[in-house]
């Protein structure tokens, strides 16, 4: 039986012991931790377990601007020009 790893996208061979299994499984290709669920030799669910927290790093790397304030300033600049 094979599962398609959601992390690396490759087909990973499963041992016969996993024909009826629910729990963690480590991808032998990319070493990603997966949560799999199999029943009677068929795959019911494959999910990747995210250990790395990406949200915190994204917040730091991405500067947060205020789009409303920016739009208001542009509108005010163009408005003052037209009146003069
Ligand atoms: Zn993988």
How far, in Å, is the centroid of ligand 1 from the Cα of 69? 44
Q: Are 75 and 82 in contact (CB under 8 A)?
A: no
Binned average pLDDT, 10 residues per bin, the chain of 84 residues: 94 93 95 95 92 56 62 65 62
How far, in Å, is the centroid of ligand 1 from the Cα of 58? 24
How far, in Å, is the centroid of ligand 1 from the Cα of 39? 21
Query: Which residues, other chains included, contact 27 with Cβ-Cβ below 8 Å and sequence gap of 6+?
Result: 5, 7, 8, 10, 12, 33, 34
How far, in Å, is the centroid of ligand 1 from the Cα of 62? 28
How far, in Å, is the centroid of ligand 1 from the Cα of 60? 28
Query: Which residues, other chains included, contact 8 with Cβ-Cβ below 8 Å and sequence gap of 6+?
Result: 27, 29, 30, 32
How far, in Å, is the centroid of ligand 1 from the Cα of 68? 42
Block residue for tokens 């729990």: 23
pLDDT at 58: 52
pLDDT at 50: 77
């Amino acid at each position: 039986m094979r599962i398609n790893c959601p992390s690396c996208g490759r087909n990973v061979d499963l041992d016969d012991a996993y024909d009826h299994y629910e729990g963690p499984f480590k991808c032998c290709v990319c070493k990603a931790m997966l949560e799999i669920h199999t029943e009677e030799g068929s795959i019911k669910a494959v999910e990747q377990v995210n250990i790395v927290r990406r949200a915190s790093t994204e917040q730091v790397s991405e500067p947060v601007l205020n789009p409303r304030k920016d739009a208001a300033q542009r509108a005010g600049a163009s408005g003052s020009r037209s009146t003069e």
